[in-house]
Every structure is written in C-alpha cells, then in structure tokens.
A and B are shown apart, each in its own frame.
Chain A
C-alpha cells in the first residue's frame, strides 16, 4: 500500500523529506560510512581501556608455551616438514581470535541491551547491517593485538615466521576477516539468547567444537571422515589454512589462498544478512 507523504513542516529545522537512497551505490556508500562510524565507536572504547588487550594475551601464551612445547616433544602428530610448534602457531592465532570474537560480540550486545544503548541505535536511521558490520570490525581491530602477541611468543620460541611486510598485511587481513565472521556469529547467538547466562552457555557449547573441528592443532588427515566433513564446513579451517600458508615459509595452503578468502567472504555476507535481520529483535 502506498503511504501518504508527510505534509508537516517545521521551518528549516529538519529536512522536510528524508534523504532517499537514490541508488545502489548510494546505499552502499551509506552502509560503508555508517559501518566505519560504529567501528570508530568501538575503537574509541578500546583506546579508553587498552588493558583488555593484554589480558587477552594470556590464553595464546598458555597454548604455545605449555601445550605447544609438550606436544612438540612427543612428535606424535605428523606435521610433515614443520615442527609441531610451527604447525600450531597459526592455529593458535586463529583460535585466540575466535575466542576474543565469540566472547566480545554477543556479550557486549547483551550488556548494551540491558543498558538501553541498543535501543537508541535501533531508533536511529542507521542500517542494521551497518551496526552489525561496524561492531564486528571494531572487534576485528581489537583482535589485531593477538597478532603481535602470537608473533612475539612464537619468535621467542624459535618458530620461523615469514616476516615480509606484505605477508604481515595478509595476516592482518585474514585475522580481520576471521574476527568479523566469528563476531557476527556471536552477535547472532546474542540476538537469540538475549541473556548473559544463556549466552555464556551457548557460547561455550559452540566455541570448543568449532576449535576442535578444525585444522588448528592437528592436520585434517588425522581426523576420521565424519570430522573431516564437519571441518570442511567450518570457516575456522579456512582461516587457519590461509594463515598457515602466509605465516610459515615452509608451509603451503591446502585449499589455496584465493579459495580460503572466498569462503570467508561468502560466510561473512551470509552471516551479515542473517544478523541484520535478527538484530532488531534485541530491542523486544
């Protein structure tokens, strides 16, 4: 049904007719600009309280220093020409990004829902997908610190890493892509769970299987067939595969860097659409 146009005037106070999205390009430009504003908001919060970044470094440190060192000695996992510590370093980077993203996204959403911040954003003319993408991008920037932490620890432990600036840039891109994907996944859980207790339960239920059903700490060839199938639909597998091929000079990608990126980007688009639809439910 066609709706009547407003005939209310209010001097020069506000635009009489709200700006219309003239075309697809305009809509994309608005989506990008509003996404960046929301990301800026998240980054500003991080700058006011950077201690969070250091605390997040504990988990990868434990995995590399304890788990990694012990399992390297056992030589029980076939990792071809790589030491086990080298093999697991990209996996631990992806894993720490996964944990930060999962427990930042939905948890913050529920906190902001309880405070009423979410309602104010939803009552503003910001595309829902921009809110989702902006929050996820902010989370991605938060996760970049994990690169510095994992690289420093790995270099200390004698892991040979490819340190070419272009390779580092590629790592940054993949970490951002992985973090954005899992943060949006977490936001989806938050939209459904709506309470902190429920979110923590579902988050834990999902995070560990995501981690173990991937190639992060053992190769796919070691997995039984059913687990290989699950791991092939797990975005973390492609993130780890891409990271392993960029970070380690002696390793190559199983699927190819292009396919890894394509799968991560496709997952991002699907998750963003789902989350954009679910996000307004947070206010109810």
Chain B
C-alpha cells in the first residue's frame, strides 16, 4: 500500500475562459505513490485542470498545492518536482531520442557526472536503447510516447502528470505504456496523475479515479468502491460512468480540439 501523506491537494480550483467555466470548484486530494485518474469525456475540463496543476495556466479562483508548494505563487518550486507529458506530441521529431533526453537532462540541471548514466537508465527502462540515435520523426507512436515519458522522469520527479497518455496508440503500445506506469510506481514510488477517457485504462491502472464532467468532479473513489455503490453484480467502470454522468454527458469539445486530437492520432498511428 502507498503511504498516506498527501502530495497534491486542490481547493475550489476553478478556471474560466470568458463566461465558460472549464474547471468548476474542483477539490481533489492525491496521496504519495498513488495512481490517480481524472476520468471524463472529451472537453470535460481534464486537460485544463492538468494545465493548472503543471503551472501552465493560472487558476481563476481556488488554489492547488503540490508537495506543499502553491502552484500559483511557488510555480518555480513546483516545476522542479513535477514531470509532465502533454496530450500532444512533445518529443522533438527533428532530434534523435538521445538528444531529446540530453537537452532535458541539461535543462533540469542534472549534474554532468550523472547525466549519461541517467539517460542510459531512462533509455533502458523504456527499452529504447536500440533506437536512441535515430531521429524521433522515424519512431512509431508507442516509441514516441515512451521517449516522452523518459524525458519527463529524467529528473526523478515526485509526481508525474500524463495527459491522455495512450490516446492514438495501438493496443500493444497501450499495454506497454500501462506496464511502464506500473513499473514507475513500483520501482520509484512515483505518484502519477493521468487523464483518460478510456475506462478500461482507468480500471486497470488507477488506485483512485475522479469522474469529471462539465468541469465538475461528480464522483471520487477507488474503482472497486465506485462499482460497489451501484449494487449491481459484475458492475464495470463503464456502468459507473454511465450512472454518474448519464444524460448529463455533453461533450464541449471544440472544432480546434477535435482537429488536434485527430492530428495526434494520425501522427501516432
């Protein structure tokens, strides 16, 4: 079992874009070593929440702390202890896998004496040694995702944010990424916060899930506990999702977001 100390906490975290409230007074609490899933349909506000937690977007109201540091007022301290893999492809296709890692090792200030060893370890952990010197634009979708995760764990963050980590991946690559996440928790005790709209992914990976719709957290708890609340034998997370969101399900996904998602899927595919 993971220790019970809280590593991330939000209080009434809110983000508005004009009159539209993308994240609406969200309160979540994540413990160290936990895999926490933000689960919801496209446009539910998951990515906006992640952007606020990773200091990319200032909250309109409320606050969030990571390892005791406030994401708004102590953003530099927060950036040093988090790792982040955005939903879009963030590895640079015009560099090799090794160069992508090298640049981030330097940016995170990993001492020169440890740099090569950390990069080698990360490549081995992700099983990417054989393609390290190949340009990333020639990688498969699964390899790119693994490289991106490798980049984000080089500085050994306390908490890793993964925004839709398996979107656009084929089933084999998806399972590889799942295994890696579990390995990260097991080997390093990393806390993982991921967003997903794949219920199977949330069910098999997450210790806790928060179901999000229209910017609000509708339900929080361990997948097993949430399933138990339905009082149905053999209830799945899918049933939980439908029960909690039901007719309220309304995707606010914009034309631009749809284009971005399809673009990513094409590149990863």
Which residues of A are at the interface with B, using a C-beta cutoff of 8 A? 1, 3-8, 10-11, 13-15, 18-19, 34, 37-38, 40-41, 44-45, 48-49, 114-117, 119-126, 280, 283-284
Number of CB contacts from chain A to chain B under 8 A: 116
- Nearest-CB residue, chain A, relative to B15: A284
Residues of B within 8 A of A (CB): 5, 7, 32, 51, 54-57, 67-70, 73-74, 76-77, 79-82, 84-92, 94-95, 99, 103-104, 106-109, 135, 148, 151-152, 155-158, 188-189, 260, 263
> Residue B88 contacts which of A37, A115, A126 (CB distance < 8 angstroms)?
A115
Q: Which residues of B contact A14 (CB under 8 A)?
A: 80-81, 155-158
Shortest Cβ gap from A49 to chain B (Å): 6
Tell me which residues across on chain B come within 8 A of A5, comparing CB atoms. 68
Do A123 and B94 touch across chains, with their CB atoms under 8 A apart? no
CB contacts (< 8 Å) of B74 on chain A: these are 3
The smallest C-beta distance from B237 to any residue of chain A, in angstroms, reads: 27
How many Å lie between the Cα of A45 and that of B106 in the bound state?
16
Complex CA gap A120/B106 in Å reads 14
Are A49 and B94 touching (Cβ within 8 A)?
Answer: yes
Kindly provide the distance from the CB of B215 to the nearest chain A CB, expressed in whole angstroms.
16
User: Chain A residues with Cβ under 8 A from B32's Cβ?
Assistant: 8, 10
Residues of A within 8 A of B67 (CB): 6, 8
Instruction: Name the CB-closest residue of B to A284.
Output: B57
| Given A13-B158, A44-B99, A45-B94, A18:B107 Cβ within 8 A | no
Q: Can you list 18 A-B contacts (CB < 8 A)? A: A3-B70, A6-B68, A8-B5, A8-B158, A10-B32, A14-B81, A14-B157, A41-B103, A44-B103, A114-B260, A115-B89, A117-B91, A117-B92, A120-B152, A121-B107, A122-B55, A125-B76, A280-B56
A contact residues around B89 at 8 Å (CB)? 115-117
Report the minimal beta-carbon distance from A228 to chain B, rounded to whole angstroms.
Answer: 43
| Chain B neighbourhood of A10, CB < 8 A | 32, 158, 189
Other than A40-B103, A124-B104, give 6 A-B pairs with Cβ distance below 8 A. Answer: A13-B189, A18-B77, A19-B80, A115-B90, A117-B90, A124-B107
- Chain A residues, Cβ within 8 Å of B85: 120
* Inter-chain contacts of A284 with B (CB < 8 A): 51, 56-57
Assembled-state Cα–Cα distance A169/B32 (Å): 55
Smallest CB-CB A-B distances: 8 pairs? A116-B88, A6-B68, A116-B86, A123-B84, A8-B67, A120-B90, A18-B80, A125-B79
Given A3-B69, A8-B32, A14-B155, verify A283-B57 contact (CB < 8 Å): yes
Assuming A14-B156, A123-B54, is B76 touching A48 (CB within 8 A)?
A: no
Residues of B within 8 Å of A3, CB to CB, are: 69-70, 73-74
CB contact under 8 A between A1 and B92, given known A126-B107, A284-B56, A284-B57: no
Closest chain B residue, CB of each to CB of A13: B156
Contact of B79 (CB < 8 Å), options: A8, A11, A119, A123: A123
Cβ A41 vs Cβ B73 within 8 A? no
Nearest-neighbour CB distance to chain A for B148, whole angstroms, equals: 8
Kindly name the residue among B56, B85, B158, B263 whose own CB sees the greatest number of chain A CB atoms within 10 A. B56
CB distance from B226 to the nearest CB of A (A): 27
A41 touches B95 (CB 8 A): yes
Known: A119-B88, A284-B56. A45 touches B95 (CB 8 A): yes
Chain B, Cβ-Cβ closest to A112: B92
